Amino acid sequence: MASTLTSGTMTVTLVESLTLNGKDQGSVNKLSISGINSISKTIVTTTTDKLEYLAFGTGVGKGTFNEANVRYMRFTNKDDTNFIVLFFTNESSDEVGIKLDAGQSYIWNADINGGLVDNMDANSGGAASSGQLADITKVQIQADTASCDVEMFVAST
């Protein structure tokens, strides 16, 4: 069976609107990512337990994405009060935690050509090095005080 799906170009537009002292200080930035033919958009309720929600590898399965094909990920904390923490882990077991306050979004921009391959490094004892970048293997999420709804959007080629 041949697919009838036609890939598309995803456009991400960031708009900052601000007027200070009567002068517009806002900006608009656009990024176009071509060849997108797969998206996953879901809302999950995360708890105060640190749980894995996304996995990345060379294959594709439920909750698992091909690391070389991912081009864009967005996480939005839909809660109106509590923060969450996003944990990104790479194949070297490096981990970075990012606090995402109520209502905020976080975008992980994958490599336009290589996806999540050699895309992250973290170092607890000194400077991270671009020569030690490793593949992202998973994303875990943990709510701080009470369960929170989190919207996840992943776009792949």
The per-residue pLDDT for 5 is 85
Handedness of CA 104, 67, 144, 99 (dihedral sign): negative
The per-residue pLDDT for 35 is 96
The pTM of the full predicted model, rounded to 2 decimals, is 0.91
The per-residue pLDDT for 154 is 97
Are 35 and 7 in contact, with CB atoms under 8 Å apart?
Answer: yes
Q: What is the mean pLDDT of residues 134-156?
A: 97
Neighbours of 36 (CB within 10 A): 17
The per-residue pLDDT for 40 is 96
- In angstroms, the CA 151 to CA 139 distance is 13
Domains, the chain, in order of start with CATH, read 36-156 (2.60.120)
pLDDT digits (tens, 9 = 90+) for 20-77: 999 999 999 999 999 999 999 999 999 999 999 999 999 888 889 999 999 999 999 9
- In angstroms, the CA 37 to CA 57 distance is 18
| pLDDT above 70: residue 107 | yes
**Residue 63 CA: distances (Å) to CA of 43, 83, 113:** 13, 23, 22
| pLDDT above 70: residue 130 | no
